[in-house]
Each structure stands twice: as C-alpha cells, then as structure tokens.
Structure 1
Amino acid sequence: MTDLIARPDADEEGRGEGNLGAPAGNGSDAPPPVEWAPAQAAPRKKRTALWIGLPVGATVTALIAASLVLIAPGASVAGVPVGGLTAGQAADAISARLAETTVVLNGPDGSYEVLGADLGANVDARALADAAFAENPMWNPSTWYPGSADAAVTIDEAAATAALQTAAPELYVDPVDAAVTFDPAAATYAVTPAVDGEGVDLAAVQTTLQEAFDQGLTTTSLEVTSVPVAALATTDEATAAVATLNGMLDTVGFYVGDERTVPVDRATAASWLTVTDDGGDFTFTADPALIQASVDALPAAVNRDPVNATVITDSAGKVLLEQVQGVTGRAIESTDAIAASFAEQLGSGNAAYPLTVSETPFQTAATERRLEVNLSTQMTYLYENDQVLYAWASSTGLPGTSTQPGNFRIGWKTPLQDMGCFDGAPYCTENVPWVAYFNGDQGFHGAYWHNNFGHVMSHGCVNLPVASAKFLYDWAPKGTEVSVHY
C-alpha cells in the first residue's frame, strides 16, 4: 500500500502554505480539508562498484592477453630494448638500429662515414625477436629483466664495396679484369692477365660493425686497412675460356658423319663470335647473319654425284686391288635455319655442325685377272674376265735352272734390281727392270740383253720384252694368280 501524507492546500493566489488548524480564508469554523499525497519515493541503491568494475575487468583481460604476445620487460637484443614489444615490433627495432649504426673509417687522408644500411648490413631480426619472446615472455615474471642477447651481423660485399668506394674513392685502386682477345696474326685467342687492385678490408668493417651492435653503440670507428681486391674476371677463368675458344677453332666446320666436309677458316669463325665477360663468366655468342654466307656456299661444297668403284679380283672374286675408290653421292637436304642453329650451337662451345644429307650409293665394277705361262710353247698369257687380253712370247729357264710348274701368286715386286751379283754367283746381271716374283726367286722381268723370246734362255725366271714386262708389272697386282704348266 502506498504511504500517504497530509499536505496543506494553497489558496488560489498561491499565498503559501497554511498551518494545520488555522481558520480558513472563507471564514468557516470547519477545519480545512486534508489532502493525502504519496510519500516521496525512496532513493535508488547506488551501483557504483558495478559500473567501475566492468572497465577494470576489461583492462585486466587485455593485459593478460597482451602478456601472451609481448616480450618481458628489460629484454634486449644487442643493446636494442625489446621489452614490452611484440616479436614483429622487436624485429623492426633491431633492424632499424643496425641500419642506423654509423661506421667511421679513419684513413690516411681523412675520415669517412657509412651507415649499416649502406653496407647492406643484415641480421636475422625476426628470428632473434622470436627467440627473445620464446625465452622471455611477459606472462612469465621469472624471465623479466633477462639482459641482452647477441646477434650475428653480416654485410653485403657488393653493396658494401660500392658504398665505401662512393664515400672514400681514394682508398681504392680498381682491379683490371682478365681479357680474352683474338690475335689475327696467330689466328688464335689469347689471354690478357688480370691485375689485382686495392681496397678496404671488408672483414674488418664487418667485425667493427658487429662489435658496435653487440655493445649497443650507434657509432663506431676503425683504422682503414688495405687489402688486395681481386679482379672479377680472373686469369684462370680467361684461360679456361681461351682453351674452349681455340678448341672450337681447331674443329670448326660443317660435318657429314665424322668427315669435316666443309672446314671454316679460323679467322672467319672468330669473326662470327662475340666473347662477353660477365664478372668472370665468359660467354660466347655468334651472329647468324655472318654465318649465312658460309651456309649459302654449302650445296656447292657438299653435293656430289656418286663415283663407281673398279676393283681387280682373282678367279674366286677376292679383291686384289681397288683401282678406283667408290664415292657415295650426296646432297644436302636443306639449308634453312642452319645459320641460326649453328649460332646457338657455337654459344655452347661446340663448333662441329652436323649436316643432314641424302646419299646415293655407288656401284662396283670388278675385273678378274690371272696369268698363265706355257712352258711347252714358251708363251705368257694375260687373262681378263677369263678372256685372253695379251699373249707374248717369253723365255723361261734353261735345263738345270728350269722354271718350276705349279700354281702361284705374284708376291714381291720391284721396278729395278741387280740379279746374281754377289760373290760365288754364276752370273751377274745389273739393272734388271720390272721384276714381279711369283715362286721364290723365280718371277717375271724385262730382258734387255737378248731378243730370243719364244726360247728357253733364263736362270729360271720368265723373260719378257722390257715394254711387256712394264705392262705386266703395272697390270698384275700383288696376289694375282700365276699358273705355270707344260
């Protein structure tokens, strides 16, 4: 039930509150009417603690969450404070400190400054930051204020050299690269040796930067030490390139099989090539347009008709002599794209270009040859393909030194010989021409000392007129069959 209290009424003109029991303004003796009004509402309970507690709780939660990703207070890497930072923030701070570290080089002619960033200085900042967090997380108070961790610093040699040369050019003497040149007089490639230069000792610069970074210094200095600076293109590298190039000139040409069918002049081949040195990496390139002139001449140099072979055989078909060597006909199939293909091949160091040709085989014509000596008729017959080519009167051995019958083959031959001219010999005949032995010391030869052919006259050989002996000597190759009979 709502509590009610009495309150005096006010007059129409608002004269203010009246006193309980006082006469009414209307002059009536009745007491004034009493109005009942609700009692004043009780004040609401204060909830200050609840409203204050919500943001505080959120803050605590945030702090707990942050402690899971932040590095403990007091941690540092190479003098760079990383406490209270995330690993990513710590990595950025470490890299920035290294980049901003100044190295002062004191040389004989003055001092020079370069920044770590100029030297291409680098440290694995993220790995160091991750390690710092792993070892010193904020959520573990026992790891707070752990001290400083060292970090390995490297520099980029190319960037460092360029920065130092720019800052202090007088501290450098440029090296001279080895060179490869073609000597037209000798038609060969030659080496110009490299010459070392001088420069700042990069190892000393790196050590000084490392020490400064370890100590948390933003500026450091060192006394300049000169060291030899090797040429990018060394003598050994140029020598190796020259060996390859000269080997190419030794073999350059267009080949059919193993035959260098079209050799290329050394100076011409060298004119096709350009040798490029990329810091000691010698490479070769060839110009297809310059090669094209040689390619255009290939058909005339390569194409040929077949040449048929002619051979001399015995009666069984065994080849005794190849009179004309057979030559296979050939024709180059196409010269399209040869220049470009050869240029690419030369770039790899191979100067022997294989040609694709179509071939036409040669034919072989065989001629059978044999000799016959008839002791009864004192005749010598030359047979070719089983037909008598020539028949000559001849003189065989006298009784006591008769020519022996049998089947033999031409063996040793000599165009001129003294016969029987030794101590104890029964005779001596000098300068006997066109001798072709077939049975030991019995053979055909010319006889200039008599003209009694058709009768026995010799010491066992078959005497022929000199002209006939010369023809037989040339006609009958070694191995020609000889039949001696009655």
Structure 2
Amino acid sequence: MTTSTAPVRGRAGRPAPRRPSAAFWLLLIGWLLFLSLVAGVVVGLVQIYNSGRILAGVEVMGRSLSGRTAADAAARLDDEWRGRRVMLDAAQADGTIRTWTLSPVQVGALLDAQATAEQAYRVGREELRPENIGALGWRLLASTDLLPIRMEPTVIAPVWRFDSPAAAGTLRMLANELETPMENAGVRVVDGRIETTPALTGRSLDIAAALAALEAYPWGAALAQPGDALHFALPIVEHPAAITDVSALVAELSPLLSQPIAIRLYDAVRDERAEWTAQPADMGRWLAFEAATPAEGDEAAASRLTWSVDEARVAEWLAEQSATFGDERFVAAGDAAPLLAEAFAARRPAISTRISHGEREHVVQPGETLSSIAFDYGIPYPYIQALNPETAEGLFAGETIRIPSQDVMLPLPAVENKRIIISLSKQTVKVYENGQIKWDWVGSTGLPDSPTAPGVFQVQSHEEMAYAANWDLYMPWFMGIYRPVPGQEFMNGFHGFPSRDRRQLLWTSNLGRPVTYGCILLSTDNAKLLYDWAEVGVVVEILK
C-alpha cells in the first residue's frame, strides 16, 4: 500500500495585507482639514448672512455702511443728512447776494433714514437665484475682512419726502427779513419846509414759487454724494411804486402842514387832563397819495394826483404816543384818528378826545374773594365774573384773572366840568362844577348785604318817579348811574326819600348811615336839585 501526503499551507504562507503609507494619511488629513475649513467658512458666511448687519460694498450718501446694523446705519444716515448744508441765496436791490445756510430738514427735505437703511440691508439678501449666488458669496467673503477683496460699491439712493409745512415756515421767516415795503413818493417837513420824498420799489419773497421749487428739487440725488453745500436761488418779486412824483401837490399841502394840531385828552376815570401835539413832521407821514380815477373819456385824469390822510398811519402814531402812559391807558384810534384827519383837512388847531383804559390782570392772593377783588378795583363783581366764567367754580390762590376795563362803566361821553364824589366811609355826597365844590350833602348808601359798589360811573338816565319792583319802592328824582349786573335793565343810582304807596316816606331819619339796597339816598329836595343839574354823562366817583 502506498501512501501519499499533500503539502499543507499554514497561515504563514498567506500574503500579508498592505499598510497605508504616510502619504495617504497626510492626504486624508489634508482633505479633512480642507473640508473643515470649507465648512467653517460656510458656517461663517451663513452667520454673516443672518447676522442682521449690512453686507460689504453698500454705500449711501458716499458713506460705507458695511458691517453696521440697520438701526446703527439709520442713526448715522440721519446725522449725515442733518449735517449737510443748503445755501438759500436772495439777490438784493444793490446787486449783492444775501445767503442763509440751513439744513435740508429746515427746507423740508426729510430723510427716511430707517427705510434707507433697510434698503441697504437688503442688498445681497434679495431673492436667491442661480445667477446671483456667486455675487452673494463674493460679497459675504468681502464682509469677513479675511481677504483683501475690493468690490465695486452698490450705491443706495436716500429715501426722502418733502415736508411742505416745515419749508413754508422757513420761507415765511425769510420773507419777513427780505420784505421791503413799496413806498409811493410823499412829502416830509424839514425845518419848516416841505420836501418831496422819493418812491421806493418794494421787494418780497414769492413764497408760493419758492415752495413749489423746493418741492420739485431732486434732493435725494443732490445730497447723495458728499461735497459742497447746495445753492438754491430764492425767487424775489419787485413791486414798483404807483406814485413816483408828488411835487405838484406841494403848494396845496404847504398851508395844511404849516401848523401843529393839539390833542386835548381827558381821563374821566382819574379826572386828569393831558395834551399831545402832532407836529407838521408827524402829519407829513400820515399822508397817502394816489392817481385820480379817470372818468370815461378823461384820459388826462390818470396824471392827476389826490391825497388823503391814512388813518392807519395816524393809528400807528397814536399807539406810539399811548406807550408814553406806561400803563393800561391808551387813546383809541377809532375815536381820535377820524378827528385828526378832519382837523388836518379843515386846518383846525386842536381836537379833544378821551383817554381809554384797557383790561388789567390780577393774581389772586390767599383769602381773597371775587367780591373783595371787585371792591378793590372799583368794578361790580358780576362784571369780573362775566369776563372770567371759570371763577364760577371758585377762586384759587395764585391764579390770574382778568379785570374789565373801567370804561365799561362809562359808556357815554363824559361831561368834563362836572363831577359827583360819594364817600362810602363818610356817607357824604359832594358835587363839583368847574373844579369848585357846589354842594356838600349828607347821603346814605347801600346796606352791607346789598352794598353800593365803589368805582367810577356816570349819569345814564333820568326818571322823575322810578319804581323798584323787587322792593316795591317808588323813588323820586331817580338818576341811574350803573347796572349791578351786566346786561340787565335794573340800575343803581340817586333818588330822594322813597315810599311804598307814594304817601308814606321811608328813611327820612336815616341820612348819614347805610340804609338803601344799593342806591344813593339824598333828601328829596337835594335829589331834585341834582336831578336838574346833572345831565347824562356827568361822572360819578364812589370812594371806599
């Protein structure tokens, strides 16, 4: 038997596996680092994209906004806009240019900084499309500042609107400074001689045209780039004088301007007199001239001139004179100006008019009441209440209330040479004529719960026998001097001994102490004397 044995291959006989070389490991590590770097860059770019900051290469008004949040960019843009300068130029009559340097806001150009910043923020973040992926990546890379990438800037136009009220306000302010009133030729008196004055062309700012031009101006484009201030020419309108020569009227006016006019003033409240003088030089400034209106067929009339006294100019002069009083008093132009115009034309040497009184103000002091304030000022308290309706809720210390003009109690022309003075404390009635006392009587005034008001009043009515229904009293020789309540017919005044049945007289033994319901009681004989002597308009002064 033959036996054969096959060779057996042990483990040691298999081929050994290859180990990776060092180059492989280096290559693998390199790729992993590259992928990590790419992933890091992508993550960083995504973070920049979502960071809320404006991407690189975005400019507004010449300023880069790269890396700024929309809020920060809006604040910077607002400061930049307000810092720009607009030069408004106005040509002067002498050929020079007057200039105002203002901000765009003052001329109505308002930047919407937030909307502009939001537009800048959207650059590169608009709808992604295949064709703009590369540009976005490049912008994102530039935003990292890791690489010195230079980009062509994307310029965003400012978003702005025109504020017409703000511009109009600025133009009105400038118009006041620019306005030169037109003046016709006139006359003036110098050292007693009449001279003609030249005509002056008026100039004014055309506000409507300026406002329209400002609104139409392309502010966004003009202010988009930094640079010199913008210049804007203001439209000026000239107003030629209608009358350029008044020399033909000099001879006519010379006699009228040869003498002054005296203005005799009387203050019925204070019983004081004063006098002003309107000099020829003053009156020369009151005159206004105009061309005659031609009748049909009278072509030569247009060359003829007429003159008149401009009462508005007289009123200005009266206001200047009234300022010398230094208080609430004044001479009313409505009263005095027509009198002066008439006196000038008629060559009268003087006029007479009254001194008026304006309202006053009072600061309420602790403890004061409406009645006590009225007593101090000499005005019945319902008149103060009517002027200050809020006082119906009560008075408060420190508040300011208005005190009516004392003229409300003097509605009629005053009789200057007669005056009646009553003393509440002494219960006397003194009658004056031409500055001299005529009668000195004992009288009686109102009871404490129905007092006679102090103040300055005047005789307004006469009734031989008046009847007071509230108290069922017949009052002989009654003269009304004031209404205790404005708008009512009932009046307080003088009267003789009253009766309830026209037979039995009352208060005959009460003269010399308060006894009436607000009127002034005299004996019937004295009441009759006063009734016959005191015409309407005589001033009655009631002292405390």
TM-score by length of 2: 0.27
More strand by share: 1
Rg larger in 1 or in 2? 1
More helix by share: 2
TM-score by length of 1: 0.30
